[in-house]
Amino acid sequence: MSKITFLGAGSTVFAKNVLGDCLLTPALQGFEIALFDIDHVRLQDSANMLNNIKKTSGSTSTIKVYTDRKEALSGAKYVVNAIQVGGYDPCTITDFEIPNKYGLRQTIADTVGIGGIFRNLRTIPVMLDFAADVREVCPDALFLNYTNPMAVLTNVMNTYGGVRTVGLCHSVQTCIPELFKSLGLEKEGVKAKIAGINHMAWLLEVTKDGIDLYPEIKKRAAEKQQEKHKDMVRFEMMLKFGHYITESSEHNAEYHPYFIKRSYPELVDRFNIPLDEYPRRCIDQISRWKQMREDLVNDANLTHERSHEYASYIFEAIETDVPYKIGGNVMNTGLITNLPREACVEVPCLVDRNGVTPTYVGDLPPQLAALNRTNINTQLLTIEAAITRKREHIYHAAMLDPHTAAELSMDDIVAMCDDLIEAHGKWLPEYH
């Protein structure tokens, strides 16, 4: 019996999408679906939910709960990772409150920026523990990482974990549908090429019947910018730098030095930027969980429709040898020629029985590569900090972050990092 192991299975809603998809996929029938989470209550919730879907779908797969991680991984052919180390309380709260004291405002804080750096620093040791288990009990497994910060964690698993890892994000497959819906354009028949880094990949080409759609897209975007809407940052970046970005405006507002500025507070209102957005979402999700739990976990008639998540389609393509195209996060083995080779990049990949094969992109337009490199700088220094355990590299990562550097002095950045290290306490290893 082949086995799919899900680490972080207490993420019940996400487990429903990824594993519910697997239960509906003909090529994955008869698989064992192994669930692991350190929260045993949420773990059992997810098992109950998936057993409901198994019953209503007629799936022949087996749902099995594990409280021992190595046992859950043993013999797995595929591993899906969706953990969050430290959760909302205390770690996400810390990631926002301490920078706020220094006047550094954030929106999501899970990718780069000061919040992304510290989310990485507390997650990397856990991921390397996963990697050690994978090398021991399922060394040939394909590891799919859904956990943010995507680029750094996928890089670490490949470079230092010795595990064949592909990072997956929702933003690639939703890029065209969301953009075209926003602008009142028809997406059917559209061809697109997307590449860059996670959360800052670029819509490099967008055509229909051989016609470049960018002139019409930019015309409509410029008109739409006259009124407030939720995607103003990405439209502004496209109009200034020439290309649309895959990830949302609330994310991209904190990836660049142009939008959240104490010296120009009117920009936050002008570009409709939701400061402290992620804590609000967390509070909302926590408050809605009781009803969601009732709907998901205790509904014996629960059904599921296959989602747009890539995981089941990847597994299906490998099992059937019917090719499937994804946008995947992989190491830059010369794929994007004007980005560093040691970086993790997001490029089109072909999936078949051979696994996930990235495609060659070549040079990005120079202004786009330059923007990517500003974020890659912080990513690589964060990895350096995590691997060497040198505190100075935490400072370097923060001082190289575009938004942080635009708002704070170097002395304040160092002091803020020290405060964050102290506040995280046992959630971080010792740094010297």
Mean pLDDT over 264-270 rounds to 98
Question: Beta strand pairing status for 355-358 and 3-7?
Answer: unpaired
Percentage of the chain surpassing pLDDT 70? 100
pLDDT greater than 90 at residue 50? yes
Q: Taking 90 as the threshold, does the pLDDT of residue 1 lie above it? A: no
pLDDT band, residue 94 (cuts 50/70/90): very high
Band (pLDDT 50/70/90 cuts) for residue 286 is very high
Q: What is the pLDDT of residues 398-428, one digit of tens each?
A: 999 999 999 999 999 999 999 999 999 999 9
Confidence at 53, pLDDT banded by 50, 70, 90: very high
Catalytic residue set: 170
Mean pLDDT, residues 197-203 taken together: 98
Is residue 247 over pLDDT 90?
yes
Tell whether the model's pLDDT for residue 370 goes beyond 90. yes
Count of alpha carbons within 13 angstroms of residue 365, beta-carbon side: 13
What mean pLDDT do residues 37-54 have?
Answer: 97
On whether the CB atoms of residues 196 and 364 are closer than 8 A, the answer is yes
Among the listed residues 266, 220, 229, 222, the one whose alpha carbon sits nearest the alpha carbon of residue 250? 229
Helix intervals (H) in 187-260: 214-224, 232-241, 249-252
pLDDT per position as a tens digit, 129-166? 999 999 999 999 999 999 999 999 999 999 999 999 99
Examine the pLDDT at 238 and tell me if it is beyond 90: yes
